[in-house]
Amino acid sequence: MLDLLGIGNAIVDTDVEIEESFLQDESLPKGQMTLIDSVRMAELVGHLGRRTMRRCSGGSAANTIYAAQAFGLNTSYACQLADDENGHHFFREMQDAGIVTSQISAMSDEQRSGQCLVLITPDAQRTMCTDLGVSKDVGQAVVNDGDLRAARCVYIEGYLSASELSSQTAARSAALARDSGAQIALTLSDISMIEFCRDGLTAMLGNGVDVLFCNADEATAWAKTDRLDVAISELKDIAKELYVTLGSDGAEVCNLQGRWQVGGESIIPVDTNGAGDMFAGACLAARLQGAEAADAARFANRAAARVITQFGARLPSLADYQQLSATT
């Protein structure tokens, strides 16, 4: 049986360290994700000059699925890939990890796979500039109906709300999977999605989901309040199980059995990119392997703390995930 099916963008992350002044010079909002086109991407890369860049297949849901696979689940990932260097890089890395991934589509030479420029300032905050490329529109054709019927859980990233077609695909896939008895998990992904793509998110949430992930800022933005307790009360009406990450303070966990605040790890962050993705992947892996919600959040906090002590949204090797899982 397939444990977890992810649906999301296929993005190749390019991490680079920059100074605060670079964000100011380029008029980029610090700590947020900005959608850009290929022309603007080329311009930014040119302005970065000879700074060292690190490349890794990524995208929010892809990072989560990668972590869930590495922590012991049987996973699949539905996405849109073009026949270019980034598309082949993404497909190869996911396949090497054991993740069944959508095939590369035959497209015109002008179409490109998605790329995300992750700009990391000295305080470990990451500012993302994303050219979605062909992953902008995830059509139903890339989602395997057999996987939808077989999956125990379907995980959907909120970034899909940026496209009407992608949000429709996510909503339809969730409905089909639920008819087969699957759980539906979703992440709100980013404040920018809540501010500018709320209708798409609302459509994807439908009549509610089984599991919802977000951070405190996303929670309060969704509820249009500055009080986290009010936001959590509202989100509990949307999700049977809710995980609100609180940075170094850990996470707030709510479900039908109770509510817990699970403490975080005391570490010095290097790069916060991927912390939420890792949290979701570790949490889903633990839950689908039988852990209670609070225990799953504790493991997820530990995994998220581990990934932000290095650059990049993934641990260096599959063995590092397995070692972390063994210390639970």
Residue pair 262/300 in contact by the 8 Å Cβ criterion: no
Residue 154's pLDDT is what?
A: 98
Give Cβ neighbours of residue 135 (< 8 Å, ≥ 6 apart): 9, 10, 11, 59, 79, 80, 81, 113, 114
The closest alpha carbon to 156, from 140, 146, 167, 165, belongs to 167
Q: Give the tens place of pLDDT for each residue, 271-299.
A: 887 899 999 999 999 999 999 999 999 99
Residue 107 scores a pLDDT above 90? no
What are the start-end ranges of the H helices in the chain? 20-25, 38-48, 60-70, 85-96, 145-150, 164-179, 191-196, 198-205, 216-223, 228-235, 275-288, 293-307, 318-326
Residue 126's pLDDT is what?
A: 86
- Verdict on whether the full-model pTM lies above 0.85: yes
Query: Whole-angstrom Cα distance, residue 257 to residue 135?
Result: 38
The angle subtended at Cα 215 by Cα 209 and Cα 220, nearest 5°, is 85
What letter does residue 10 receive in the DSSP assignment?
Answer: -
Q: List, in order of start, the domains of the chain with CATH numbers.
A: 4-9+59-108+133-326 (3.40.1190.20)
Q: Give the tens place of pLDDT for each residue, 233-243.
A: 999 999 999 99
| Range 202-215 average pLDDT | 96
> Residue 78's beta-bridge partner residues?
7
Tokens for 316, please give them. 């260096």
Residue 273's pLDDT is what?
A: 78
Query: Whole-angstrom Cα distance, residue 69 to residue 149?
Result: 19
Cβ burial of 239 (10 Å; 0-12, 13-18, 19+) is buried
Give Cβ neighbours of residue 236 (< 8 Å, ≥ 6 apart): 242, 254
How many Cβ atoms from other residues are within 10 Å of residue 34's Cβ? Answer: 15
> Residue 245's beta-bridge partner residues?
215, 251
The closest alpha carbon to 222, from 247, 244, 241, 240, belongs to 244
Tokens for 91, please give them. 């497909």
Residue 216's pLDDT is what?
A: 97
Residue 327 scores a pLDDT above 80? no
